[in-house]
Amino acid sequence: MKVFSNTCSFNYSWEEVSAANWQKYCPWNEKSTHVTAVDTLSRRVDEETGILRTERLITCKQSVPEWLKSVIGCTDTSQVLEVSYVNPTEKTVTMVSQNITWANLVRVQETVIYRPLSATQTQFEQAARITALCGGWQRIKNSIEDSLVSRFKENAMKGKEGFECVLEMSRRVFAEERERERLRSQGKMMV
Amino acid sequence: MSASLAPECNEVKERYDTCFLKWYSEKYLRGNGKADNNECSKLFENYQKCLKVALEERGIDKLLAEAREDNKENDAIHMKRK
């Protein structure tokens, strides 16, 4: 098993980050073109705790290393189940993702937590555990795990840049929306 | 807004996503949103009707069932159930 972890922060409030998080993989994010679809599978609010639990299916088109293609007999599409928990009292968003494609060969489980650092800053904490399951050769297991760890490293940087774009755009759109509402209510008062 | 894995579901998905995002920032984060029977429920139902067929056709429903089984312990941790 190999572990990858990464922490960074965003200069946006937790509320902004948690809302923009639902749109992380949209056309505003030019760095995540490998995500081709995001589907919501279930969603509910727990009555007791107020926690919003969501299941999403993320579809990716990944360029898989050539040597790995020959091992797994490849398809270019892979899918991930992401279960997220928004805790409005503690102000945390926790997302646990696991691969459903090639799940009998390798198990990747990633946990991401967003929590406020201050009123205007949010911390992003990411940890992934990668375990190759194929029996036998330790060398092959190691190369599969290493290859996925370096993929995580590459994507972490791109992920931050891409999400920054989404945050900026959604702040702009929200501001425009508020302005429209303000004008609308002003208009009403004039009449 | 991101696409659906099934192009035929894109339209119903987009309608639901837009509704949800508004509900999330305007109601849920302000402490007055319930997830059942809200303004987006009907749209969610329509989207799920379309998506369910697509997941079955692609055999993804079976893979999901296995993954959900693995995720049970995370639910116990993150739903804060006693």
pLDDT in tens, A111-134: 999 999 999 999 999 999 999 887
Residue type, A158: K
Binary contact (A40, B44; C-beta < 8 A): yes
Q: Write out chain B residues lying below 8 Å of A129, CB-based.
A: none
DSSP output for chain A: -EEEEEEEEESS-HHHHHHHGGGTTSTT-TT-TTEEEEEEEEEEE-TTT--EEEEEEEEEE----HHHHHHHT--SEEEEEEEEEEETTTTEEEEEEEE-TTTTTEEEEEEEEEEESSSS-EEEEEEEEEEE--SS-HHHHHHHHHHHHHHHHHHHHHHHHHHHHHHHHHHHHHHHHHHHHHHHHHHHHH-
DSSP output for A116-146: ESSSS-EEEEEEEEEEE--SS-HHHHHHHHH
How does residue A61 score in pLDDT terms, banded at 50, 70 and 90?
Answer: confident
pLDDT at A93 over 70: yes
Helix (H), strand (E), coil (C) string for B16-28? HHHHHHHHHHHCH
Binary contact (A41, B51; C-beta < 8 A): yes
Binary contact (A43, B20; C-beta < 8 A): yes
**A35-49, A112-126, A164-178, B8-22: the lowest-pLDDT one:** A164-178
pLDDT at A92 over 80: yes
- pLDDT at position A71 is 55
pLDDT at A144 over 60: yes
Q: Write out chain A residues lying below 8 Å of B55, CB-based.
A: 57
Binary contact (A101, B63; C-beta < 8 A): yes
- pLDDT at position A160 is 84
**A17-21, A154-158, B21-25: the lowest-pLDDT one:** A154-158
* Mutation for testing the B interface, residue in A57, A111, A171 having most B CBs under 10 Å: A57
- pLDDT at position B35 is 60
Give the residue with greater pLDDT, B41 vs B80. Answer: B41
Looking at residue B79, what DSSP letter applies?
T
Binary contact (A23, B21; C-beta < 8 A): yes
On average, the pLDDT of chain A sits at 86
pLDDT in tens, A68-85: 665 555 567 888 999 999
- pLDDT at position A42 is 95
Binary contact (B5, A43; C-beta < 8 A): no
Name the residue in chain A with its Cα closest to that of B4.
A37
pLDDT at A30 over 60: yes
Q: Write out chain A residues lying below 8 Å of B20, CB-based.
A: 22, 40, 43
Among A37, A85, A94, the residue with its CB nearest the CB of B4 is A37
- pLDDT at position B81 is 61
Average pLDDT over residues A167-177: 85
Domain ranges of chain A: 2-190
**Residue A96 near residue A110 (C-beta atoms within 8 A):** yes
Q: Write out chain B residues lying below 8 Å of A36, CB-based.
A: 3, 5
How does residue A52 score in pLDDT terms, banded at 50, 70 and 90?
Answer: very high
On average, the pLDDT of chain B sits at 89
Domain ranges of chain B: 9-78
Average pLDDT over residues B48-76: 91
- pLDDT at position A173 is 82
Binary contact (A88, B28; C-beta < 8 A): yes
- pLDDT at position A122 is 96
In CATH terms, the fold of domain A2-190 is Alpha-D-Glucose-1,6-Bisphosphate; Chain A, domain 4 (3.30.530)
Name the residue in chain B with its Cα closest to that of A23.
B1
Binary contact (A101, B25; C-beta < 8 A): no
* Mutation for testing the A interface, residue in B47, B78, B79 having most A CBs under 10 Å: B78
